[in-house]
Structure 1
Amino acid sequence: MFNNILVICIGNICRSPSAEYMLRQKLAEVKPNITIHSAGLGALVDKGIDDTAAALLSEHGIDPSGHRARQVDRDMLTQADLILTMESRHVRGINKIAPQVGGKTFLLGKWSENQEVPDPYRKSREAFEHVYKLLDQFTDDWLKYL
């Protein structure tokens, strides 16, 4: 059904790579052939994951050290079977790049009343912890549909 999942935020160094690596870990045994990747609408290209986001993932047994930020493009969007975003404005940004993907673009928090995931970039560890909890919940919410 969904073989190629693309997770989007802005810089591709905090939220989207965290959600990408969480989904990979959660689906590794049950759906090992799914491609899960991430990109940003204003990516900090080739930059690694934010140190605080990386630390939180590592504390939960996830190694995000291989991540490098990528700029989203039309090809990535059209090739994805499912596109998950952090905020409504990301959905609008995607629709400007590739209007034809609107039917497969959703908020990661869709199953939790379309809740958005706030950007923790340059904020406190507590802000990152809050975002981590949301990402963990929202990725869990998606598992039954994947």
Structure 2
Amino acid sequence: MKILVVCTGNTCRSPMAEGILKYLADKKNLNIKVRSAGIMAFVGDSASDNSVSILKDMGIDISNHRSSLVNDYMVDESDIILTMTSSHKDILIKRFANARNKTFLYNEYAYGKYTDISDPFGGNIYRYEKTRDEIYKASEAIIEKIANK
């Protein structure tokens, strides 16, 4: 299974989600490939220092992450596309016709809830930790859902 995680700049939320999903999938020996991208990303940016730091505390290394701009190839090859906000979802569906039936909000896929993942960009470390914890909890539900299919 191939999962694409999408946020705005691909430096905070989606790299954290990518790292966490990979970590949890590896723990369960699931054959899941995860990548992330942004709808307005500058190609080649590193993950934010706070994102790298708070995942490192959990044993998850995203220090080699480089941002990508979502493109047709990524959408085509993905089985599931998970977005951080409803606006990300709307933009993807408008921009990529084949995204419609496989694009979900992160919390929608995890819990059936149509709620956004908060954006820590520009916030302090505690805001990043809150977002990380939100993503981690939803990621556990996502991995369980996939494992039980």
Q: Give the TM-score of the pair, scaled to structure 1.
A: 0.94
Q: Give per-residue Cα distances to partners, 1:66-99, cap 9 Å, x unaligned.
A: 1000000012111100000000000011012212
CA distance in 1, matches of 2:89, 2:69: 15
Moved more, 111-120 or 67-76: 111-120
Q: What amino acid maps onto 1:28 in structure 2?
A: D
Runs of at least 4 residues off by over 4 Å: none
Q: What amino acid maps onto 1:127 in structure 2?
A: R
Residue segments in structure 1 that go unaligned for 5+ positions in a row: none
CA distance in 2, matches of 1:100, 1:71: 17
Match status 1:61 vs 2:55: no
Q: What amino acid maps onto 1:125 in structure 2?
A: I
The aligned length equals 144
CA distance in 1, matches of 2:144, 2:133: 18
CA distance in 2, matches of 1:34, 1:113: 23
Q: Give percent identity, aligned residues only.
A: 31
Question: What RMSD, in angstroms, separates the aligned Cα atoms of the two structures?
Answer: 1.2
By how many angstroms is 1:141 displaced? Answer: 1.2
Structure with the larger helix share: 2
1:68–1:15: structure 2 CA closer, same or farther, 3 Å change rule? Answer: same
Residue segments in structure 2 that go unaligned for 5+ positions in a row: none
Q: How do 1:1-146 and structure 2 match up within 5 A?
A: 3-110=1-108, 111=111, 113-146=113-146
By how many angstroms is 1:32 displaced? Answer: 4.5
Q: Give the TM-score of the pair, scaled to structure 2.
A: 0.92
Q: What amino acid maps onto 2:144 in structure 1?
A: K
CA distance in 2, matches of 1:38, 1:100: 18
